[in-house]
Amino acid sequence: MITNISEVNPKKNIIIKGAKLHNLKNIDVVIPRNKLVVITGLSGSGKSTLAFDTLYAEGQRRYVESLSSYARQFLGRLNKPKVDYIKGIAPAIAIEQKVNSTNPRSTVGTTTEIYDYFKLLFARIGKTYSPKSGSLVKKDTVTDVLNFIKTYSDGEKLLLLSPIHLEDGRAMQDKLKVLNQQGYARIKINGSIVRIDEADDLTDSVEGIQLVVDRIVVKHEEDFYNRLADAIQTAFFEGKGECLIESLSDNKQRTFSNKFVLDGISEEHTVLDLGCKHGEIANIIDTIMDYVIRLYLRWQYLGDAS
């Protein structure tokens, strides 16, 4: 039992001192944070007064005061509840029993319609990791490939490769013929580089054929990287989102993919786009706050109308 409310930590508790509204007779209450708390009592004992008219009202008032003067002019002035002070309180959302909802799976987020906006926020600032390797899942870009190539020393010889994907109903020889007409001269098969015009005996069942998009001799010069960026973009296109860098010194390959795929796990990663670039989290938060304001105004209007 707490006897001295001044000794309670407001970072871990919500402290209500001297609540006097309606049937509340100058009571002190300590509510632990981050826990589900139920207020019980006889009818008329002040349960709703404590929860809605005191605790929620003060959280709502402080939230409105944190907004800009432009936003506050639409919300009106909120009176301070009859209480000495409240510490440790955060902006609050109140859902009363009279809210009409026939869906048993409704939550605070779905009822207030803010759930989709928080999904957007977490999708923008969150990171996805592979359940197999624990590595970060991301879409590789041309810049990522260039940064990898920059780790090699001058004069290092590399191959820029793309996997050849055979479309349904198309023969391998026809595919190679088209690639040859587009200006590509070599492919890599079974660890050997061969000319396309000399690969006459390949069948459709042969797998792992890679197109040699470019042969690279590393030069740490701006013109070199500008030209190489175009080649990497082409490699991503020909490989349908995949390309490889192979070092001729040790035959090690590094695969890049501009798809949201890692460890053979493919996942549709769609994010609602509100017209802001990746990383502009402030714009998303502003959108959420703007929505909360409009939602509050609508509730106020419905409450006045009833």
Query: Residue 194 sits in a domain of what CATH number?
Result: 3.30.190.20
- How far does CA 20 lie from the centroid of its chain? 45
Q: What distance in Å separates the CA atoms of residue 224 and residue 266, rounded to the nearest whole number?
A: 34
The residue out of 67, 94, 121 marking a domain boundary is 94
The reported pLDDT for the residue numbered 272 is: 38
Question: Is 47 in the same domain as 184?
Answer: no
Question: C-alpha 238: how far from its chain's center?
Answer: 29
Residues 34 and 73 in one domain: yes
pLDDT the model gives residue 102: 63
DSSP state of 122: H
CA proximity to 208, closest of 147, 161, 170: 161
Q: Which domain holds residue 60?
A: 1-94
For range 259-286, the mean pLDDT: 56
Q: Is 146 helix (H, G, I), strand (E, B) or coil?
A: helix
Domain boundary among 218, 235, 257: 257
Choose the final residue of a domain: 33, 68, 94.
94
Beta strand 242-247 with 157-163 is antiparallel
End-to-end CA distance of the chain: 42
Q: Evaluate the CA torsion angle 220, 223, 229, 231 in order and state its sign.
A: negative
Among 53-57, 69-73, 93-97, 132-136, the range of highest mean pLDDT: 53-57
SS3 content of the chain, % helix, strand, coil (to 5): 35, 20, 45
Same domain, 211 and 230: yes
| 124 and 221 belong to one structural domain | no
Residue 160's Cβ-side half-sphere holds a number of Cα atoms within 13 Å equal to 24
Same domain as 201, residue 61: no
Statement to judge: residues 154 and 252 lie in one domain = yes
Are residues 87 and 1 part of one domain?
yes
Closest CA to 79 of 60, 51, 92: 60
Q: Work out the percent of the chain whose per-residue pLDDT is above 90.
A: 22
Long-range pairs for 195-204: beta carbons < 8 A, 24 or more residues apart? 200/173, 202/172, 202/173, 202/176, 203/172, 204/166, 204/171, 204/172
Number of domains in the chain: 3
Same domain, 59 and 197: no
Confidence of residue 278 (pLDDT cuts 50, 70, 90): very low
Do 147 and 123 lie in one domain? The reply is no
Lowest mean pLDDT among 2-16, 79-93, 256-270, 273-287: 273-287
Residue 197: per-residue pLDDT: 83
Place of tokens 């920059």: 150
Strands 13-19 and 27-32: antiparallel
Average pLDDT, the chain: 79
The CA–CA distances, whole Å, from 61 to 52, 57, 88, 193, 291 equal: 12, 6, 14, 72, 17
Q: Are residues 267 and 126 in the same domain?
A: yes
Report, as an integer, the average pLDDT of 212-217: 93
Answer with the residue of higher pLDDT: 222 or 269: 222
pLDDT of residue 57: 87
Residue 1 has pLDDT above 60, yes or no: no
266 and 188, same structural domain? no
Same domain, 200 and 244: yes
* Residue 196: pLDDT over 50: yes
